[in-house]
Amino acid sequence: MRLLVVTNDYPPKPGGIQQYLHNLLRVLPDEIRVLGPADNAADDEHRVTRSGRAFMWPTPANKRWILDEARAFQPDLILFGAPHPLASLGPGLRTKLGVPYVVLCHGAEVTIPAAFPVTRQLLARPLKSADALFAVSRFTQQRLQRLTDRSVTYVGGGVDPDRFAFVERPIPSGPITIGCVSRFVPRKGQLRLIKAAEELHAGGVAVELLIVGRGRQEDAIRRAAARSPIRVRIEVDVPWEQLPGLYTEMDVFCMPCKSRWGGLEIEGLGLVFLEAAASGLAVLAGDSGGAAETVRQGRTGYVVADTQDIVDAVRRLDADRSSLVAMGVAGRAMVEEEFTWAATAARMRKDFDRLTAR
């Protein structure tokens, strides 16, 4: 099968959708061509054709370019990496090329446009018309079904269990190192994590923080860290291939994401939770969107809705430090059973095969 992927989200640009697509396409056994925005080279650049623009809107010029590239590649199926804005080209491409199109949906790129009548209509039209819709979480699946009044295939998310290898950790005897890997934006909750760590410190629980990422809140995070009585280590612009090593320096993972703007800005799933679980860490996941789906409450970690939940969860782990090890083992087993890229691709592949059957 020849698969054409049309997306604004692809490495080396950082982000969850970018990594999701990159890792998913690595395990699909098809001949693949990615049409993406102008950027530096990805590590699989041989199958990427880039636009001359840093972001592709469905303008007449971009429509012509995508159509020309699609005709040259002659795909059997077109996959849009996100629903907005490029999936609006799907019906026209299907008519002109005679091939089906499908759309992969994540989280906020669905909830935000769906909240307003005009953008909801623009979003819903190509989704209702698509030959198949895929959702990365049950949360997103339910939102899409309400928006489109049609079936949506749950495909979940994945992690490479070889890259994020299980590390057998001894029970920590010193301060507990709480790690967070995510973009530095308000929704991800790094400032809440620092506040929770300070409350733990004040209550006699020894903790340190390892915060990894980049983004517009970097200055605010650095100021909070500089004022804090606890040790806060900040790593910025860490290459993705170096992340597994940083997970090995943590005792517990916490990304306390929180929905914003009345539930419009949410976490679609959160691949970092799966990376941490695969690495053998207990996981504290915020209660936003599909994030809670990456945790088995009390077995692989805890869902934390606010600062007090973080404090309470870490206190429980500190009181029984052997649970850090047990949760890490359980989290790794959960990933191997449910959240590999091979499993995600297999769920998607069923619709691919149905749509391309001759």
Query: Do both 325 and 350 map to the same domain?
Result: no
Angle at 232 between CA 226 and CA 236, to 5 degrees: 95
Q: What is the pLDDT of residues 260-282, one digit of tens each?
A: 876 667 888 999 999 999 999 99
Instruction: For residues 115 and 258, state if they share a domain.
Output: no
In a domain, 164, yes or no: no
Residue 240 banded pLDDT, cuts 50, 70, 90: confident
Residues spanned by the domain of 180: 176-338
Whether pLDDT at 180 is above 90: yes
Give percent of the chain above pLDDT 70.
Answer: 96
Q: How far apart are CA 255 and CA 264, in angstroms?
A: 19
- Rounded-to-integer distance, Cα 295 and Cα 316, Å: 16
141 and 249 inside one domain: no
- Number of domains, the chain: 2
- Note whether 184 and 327 are same-domain residues: yes
pLDDT of residue 168: 84
Q: What is the mean pLDDT of the chain?
A: 93
Which pLDDT score is estimated for 357? 87
254, 175 Cβ separation under 8 angstroms? no
Same domain? 122 vs 271:
no
User: What is the token pair recorded at 340?
Assistant: 């590999």
CATH classification of the domain holding 296: 3.40.50.2000
The confidence score (pLDDT) of residue 184 equals 96
The pLDDT, as a whole number, for residue 119 is 67
Quick one: 15 and 140 in the same domain?
Answer: yes
Asked if 68 and 13 sit in the same domain, the reply is yes
Q: How far apart are CA 132 and CA 67, in angstroms?
A: 20
Residue 165 lies in a domain: no
In a domain, 168, yes or no: no
> Do 228 and 141 fall into the same domain?
no
Tell me, yes or no, whether 166 lies in a domain: no
Other C-beta atoms closer than 10 Å to the C-beta of 121 total 11
Residues 28 and 75 in one domain: yes
Tell how far CA 98 is from the center of its chain.
32
Q: Is 208 domain-assigned?
A: yes
> How much is the pLDDT for 84?
87
In this prediction the pTM is 0.90
Please check whether residue 135 lies inside any domain of the structure: yes
User: Amino acid identity of 173?
Assistant: S
Give the position of tokens 């990304």.
255
| % of residues, the chain, pLDDT over 90 | 82
- Domain co-membership, 242 together with 349: no
What's the number of CA atoms in the CB half-sphere (13 Å) around residue 205? 25
pLDDT tens figures, 99-116? 999 999 987 667 666 666
Same domain (yes/no): 143, 73: yes
Identify the pLDDT of residue 112: 64
Give the residue from 181, 247, 258 showing the smallest Cα distance to 214.
Answer: 181
Q: What is the three-class DSSP state of 99?
A: coil
Residue-wise pLDDT tens digits, 75-102: 999 999 999 899 999 999 999 999 999 9
Pairing of strands 132-135, 101-105: parallel
Model pLDDT for residues 6-63, shown as the tens digit of each residue: 999 999 987 888 989 999 999 997 899 999 999 999 888 999 999 989 999 999 999 9
